[in-house]
Amino acid sequence: MTSPLRLGIAGLGTVGIGVLRTIRRKADLLEARAGRPVRVTAVSARSRQKDRGVSLDDYAWEDDPVALARRDDVDVYVELIGGENGPAKASVLAALEAGKDVVTANKALLAHHGQALAETAEAAGRVLRFEAAVAGGIPVVKSLTEGLAANEVTRIMGVMNGTCNYILTRMEGAGLSYDEAFSEADGLGYLEADPNLDVGGIDAGHKLSLLSSIAFGTQVNFAGVELQGIGDVTIEDIHQAADMGYRIKLLGAARLTGRGLEQRMAPCLVPANSPLGQLEGGTNMVVIEGDDVGQVVLRGAGAGEGPTASAVMGDVMDIARGLRVSTFGQPATQLTPAVPAQAATPAPYYLRLHLLDKPGAMARIASVLGDAGVSINRMRQYSHAIETDAAPVLIVTHKTIRASLDEAIDAMTQTGVLADSPLAMRIEDL
């Protein structure tokens, strides 16, 4: 009989328990498809006494995940702890040094230490797999490393954080303010322990940096991702976008140019009738453009027990079948350093200001935009509330580069006619 593939699972939260349930419920199916049994031999978590709704009696217990990673009866270490450092990083390194393959759902760990971990894994002849770290149940990592391996990828873009998409769609659909939609998402358990990881775009930025590495053959460079969260988006912005036929999404985009690697994660306006515009709730979508295949759209659940456990098990099954793929699609030592570059492709921008009630205020703003080479396509000014002396002004520019717009925004803040900082969002005509 073929020997079983033995797993050690560290982290028994939603995803870890989901993996245990999948292996128990589908043991025969997994064996048939892998050609060998897949079993869990040992587990580790912060508390042994916690009721998780699943019996752990059949598994050895380790209080220390590093000890779990080094066990002789573990072939594959499954890291579901989370966090860029601490026990997650220490245990993954221990597993690789002990000759184990590793499967992880930890995007923060890989975004900050992916290059070093990949080099360690490949030098030891081990594989480091992370499908569950990006876009939940969508097999985007596998698509890039395998199915689209013959393509030169020209661009990646998508909605990669379900929590932000939920907040933005609830603001539009239910007419909620940002704070109201945020509280609702928090009450449903959608937010990370540090909510800024979600709403600040950091979580999605981690994911984008990993996909960029695979797509463009560069070392992971999360520090090079331009980040802008959704916290400044108001219900008024949602309504104005809708009036123009757009919806607001936290959109990631990456492309490699002669100037360097462009990576940005920011709220954008997208056509309401486009695949991205029609994306609702916690669903994720990744769009990959390749020179041979054209455009490929991957859509699915971006989080949750079932979808994320599915992604973990996809990696486990590949290892059980003997499939060995470099961490980022090609040997880590061949990945080139990524030189960050700001997006230079011109696009129209949505610009929202609060203009103080001063003579000539609007003329000063128009002059500043003109001096920066930014032309106005349309403009609308609204009456201000009685209790405030600032009126909201909406400007849509003609196509411009972000550097010119940033120059104009910097100059605007020196005019003395703005009540607060402007909000600028790129308009993507997909």
List the catalytic residues: 207
Query: In whole angstroms, what separates CA 54 from the centre of its chain?
Result: 30
Residues 6+ apart with CB under 8 A from 194: none
Residue 252 contacts residue 205 (beta carbons within 8 Å)? yes
What is the Cα–Cα distance from 49 to 67, expressed in whole angstroms?
A: 19
Strand 76-79 versus strand 5-10 pairing type: parallel
Of the candidates 32, 90, 425, the residue with the CA atom closest to the CA atom of residue 266: 425
Alpha-carbon distances of 240 from 181, 233, 234, 346, 394, rounded to whole Å: 18, 11, 10, 22, 8
Query: Sign of dihedral through CA atoms 305, 308, 310, 316?
Result: negative
Cα distance between the two ends of the chain: 53
Of the candidates 414, 258, 219, 184, the residue with the CA atom closest to the CA atom of residue 336: 219
Residues 6+ apart with CB under 8 A from 36: 2, 3, 4, 5, 320
